[in-house]
Amino acid sequence: MCGLALVTGMEPRAPLILHMEGVSKRYGGVRALENADLAISTGRIHAILGENGAGKSTLIKILSGVVRPDTGRIVLDGAEVAFDSPAAANRAGIVCIFQELSLVPDLSVADNIAISNPPRRFGLIDRRVQRRIAEDALARAGASDIHPMALVKDLALSRRQMVEIAKALAREPRILILDEATSALTAADVTKVFVVLKRLRDEGLALIYISHRMHEIAELADECTVFRNGSNVASYVAGTKSDDEVVEMMIGRELSHVFPAKPPPPETAATPLIEVKHLNWADRLRDISFHAHAGEVVGLGGLDGQGQRELLLALFGVLRGVTGEIRVSGAPVAPSSPNAAKSAAIGMALIPEDRKTEGLMLPMSLRDNLSFAALERISRRGVIDHARETELVGDMIDLLAIRASGTDIPAGALSGGNQQKVVIAKWLMAEPRIILLNDPTRGIDVATKQEIYQLLRRLADSGAAIIFYTTDYSELIGCCDRALVLYDGAIKRVLVGEDITERALISSALNIADDADDASSRARLQ
């Protein structure tokens, strides 16, 4: 269909239902969106691509009324609009399915689907009609197996995502936005959802689809837009650009990321600093085995949610019921808590996923936050030595070039990049040997990212082993000596040195080796 359009070039332009122009949004020092524009037509599926931090989620939040833009216009049906809440956007016919689900866990599926505008009888909720609405919506979404009376909290994540889709459909949208809405779905679900989405498109709905998954976009999209650094870099008809070209547009060849030089690989005869064998947990980690030497930077790649986070948590002692073997410098260890993982015998550190809720105590001072993981070093028998603390805190601030007006200011007042530096500095004060990082440069400005890359290499050079998970391909390529690509909880591929390329990373992340492999692994997933 699209090829035909390209060839003839005479297919009438589908009517524009929405367009955005000159939209900008800043969060503190970070420019999330910079003069962005977008044109959406009815009866089309429009895919938006871009790496993390490119501005996609901010764009969606603005369109769906969760945040207001600093500048720019949104024009819907020819009239300018401004939404001050999700409800307002819904009323205008824009419905968004977010990645963080908006479902209420303790209510039933039917309650959730009809939560905004439930059917009424004598002033009370008409449960029978509500149930019918829910069943209809679930059927439209291709999820009739979900019982409308089930509680959302009892459903698996993939089922919850289907309920979220049904809920959106029940609102009779004119523009439907799906933000990574298929990330938790099984392959079978994805197929069903695609059938539904295509049918909706044929009925005249405008769909905006955000995803990292190239094969999904190839199958679904009519038009594509690539975002990078907050702006629209290119818009094109789907199928007219190769994967390589798209990746290039996403990452940007004029790389402002400068990566430090990588040293030659260490002698393999030396005992690895950390060795993991046959690690299993629930059904999220399957038979993971790998090792890392002192001085090595090992990256974890793959799509979001394939077990990378769980692996780091398992190493750090947060998960219960982990089986398998972990050895540090040859000696077997079994950390049962972060407190144990931090101990001198193991020497691990974890820079967590969400710095605001897991890495820092925002109301506490910079100084208190910095010394929080190394209280033993600044105290003697439980009593804090303030002089020593000031000294070490000063050292860390200098080392990481943390920009702050004083050590007493609350951590919440720092910029995102500085906050992340504080989290890293906090752990460095504990003098760890194995440093685990969970997506450390997410939402950070470019300059700080560079500083962090330099720091990681310096730390590796001084003898630490670094294991870090990132969703940014360029970081895996630029920083890591080795990259482990995870898929469905297992290590799909190990790439070393020069072999770490975008092509290799993306194809193993998407589980595409070649077509035959692709089909059989998809079948395996069902």
Partner 1 sequence: MNDWRYVFSQNRATLLAFVFFVVMFAIYSTNHPAGFSANVVQTAANKGVLLALVAMAQTFVVITAGIDLSVGAMFVLTNCLASWIVVGTAWTAALGVAGVLLTGLACGAVNGLIVIVGRLQPIVATIATGAVFFGLALVLRPTPGGDVYSPLADALTGRVFGVLPASLLALAAVVLIVWVPYRRSIIGRAAYAVGSSEQAAFMSGVPVDLAKFCAYVLSGLAASMAGLFLTFVTYSGEASAANGGTYTLYSIAAVVLGGVSLYGGSGSAIGAIFGALMFRTIGDLLFVFNLDPLWQPLFQGLVLLAAICVGAARLFQVRNRLELFE
Partner 2 sequence: MSVRAQAKISDGLLKRVDRPVVIAFACIVALLLVGSLYSRSFLSPEYLLQQLKVASFLGVIATGTMIVILLGQIDLSVPWVVAVGGMMSTAATGWGPAGEALAIPFGIACGVALGLVNGFGVAYLRIPSMIITLAVNAVAQGLMVVHTGGFSPQDSSSPAMRTLATGDLVFGLPNALIVWAVVGAGTIFLLNRTTFGRAVYGIGNRERAAYLSGIDTQRIVLIAFAIAGGLSAFGGVLLAGYASKAAQAMGDAYLLPAIASVVLGGASILGGRGSYFGTIAGVILITLLQSILSVVQMPEAGRQIIYGVVIIAMLLLYGRESRTR
Strand partners, 473: none
For the bound state, the minimum distance from the C-beta of residue 28 to partner 2, rounded and expressed in Å, comes to 17
For residue 116, the partner it binds in partner 2, partner 1, none, with Cβ less than 5 to 8 A by kind, is: partner 1
Rounded least distance, CB 180 to partner 1, Å: 16
Positions touching partner 1 (CB under 8 A) are 66, 85-87, 90, 98, 101-108, 111-112, 115-116, 118, 120, 123-125, 127, 147, 149-151, 154, 281-282, 310, 313, 318-321, 337
**CA neighbor of 251 nearest in space, from 470, 500, 474, 507:** 474
Phi, then psi, of 504 in degrees rounded to 5: -65, -40
CB of 238 to partner 1, least distance (A): 31
Q: What is the DSSP letter of 318?
A: -
Distance CA 419, CA 408 (A): 14
Assess 376 for contact with partner 2 (CB under 8 A). yes
Site for partner 2 in 378-407 (CB under 8 A): 379, 382-384, 386, 390, 393-394, 397-398, 402-407
User: Are 42 and 204 a contacting pair, CB within 8 Å?
Assistant: yes
Name residue 226's beta-bridge partners: 49, 234
Which residue is associated with the tokens 């936005």? 177
Indicate the angle between helix axes 243-251 and 502-509, nearest 10 degrees: 110
Residue 352 found at the interface with partner 2 (CB under 8 A): yes
Residue 384 to residue 377: CA distance in whole angstroms: 9
Residue 129 interacting partner from partner 1, partner 2, none (CB closer than 5 to 8 Å by kind): none
Nearest to 193 by CA among 213, 410, 513: 213
HSE value, Cβ hemisphere, 13 Å, CA-based, for 469: 20
Nearest to 221 by CA among 186, 194, 181: 194
Residue 319 interacts with which of partner 2, partner 1, none, CB < 5 to 8 Å by class: partner 1
Name the residue nearer to partner 1 (CB basis): 101 or 297.
Answer: 101
The site partner of 120 among partner 1, partner 2, none (C-beta below 5 to 8 Å per kind) is partner 1
Residues 423-462 that bind partner 2 (CB under 8 A): 426, 430
CB closer to partner 1, 210 vs 298: 210
Least gap, CB of 9 to partner 2 (angstroms): 48
Closest CB to partner 2 among 44 and 367? 367
Instruction: Report the residue from 83, 98, 290, 372 that binds partner 2 according to the rule CB under 8 A.
Output: 372
Tokens of 345: 């015998």
Which residue in 342, 421, 433, 449 binds partner 2 (CB under 8 A)?
342
| Residue 196 contact among partner 2, partner 1, none, beta carbon within 5 to 8 Å by kind | none
- Count Cβ atoms within 10 A of the Cβ of residue 323 and give its class: 0-12 exposed, 13-18 middle, 19 or more buried: exposed
- Give the C-alpha separation, 242 to 249, whole Å: 11
Among positions 96-155, residues that touch partner 2 (CB under 8 A) are none
d(Cα 202, Cα 476) in Å, to the nearest integer? Answer: 40
β-bridge mates for residue 223, sequence order: 46, 237
Interface residues with partner 2 (CB under 8 A)?
Answer: 316, 318, 337-339, 341-342, 350, 352, 357-364, 367-368, 371-373, 375-376, 379, 382-384, 386, 390, 393-394, 397-398, 402-408, 426, 430
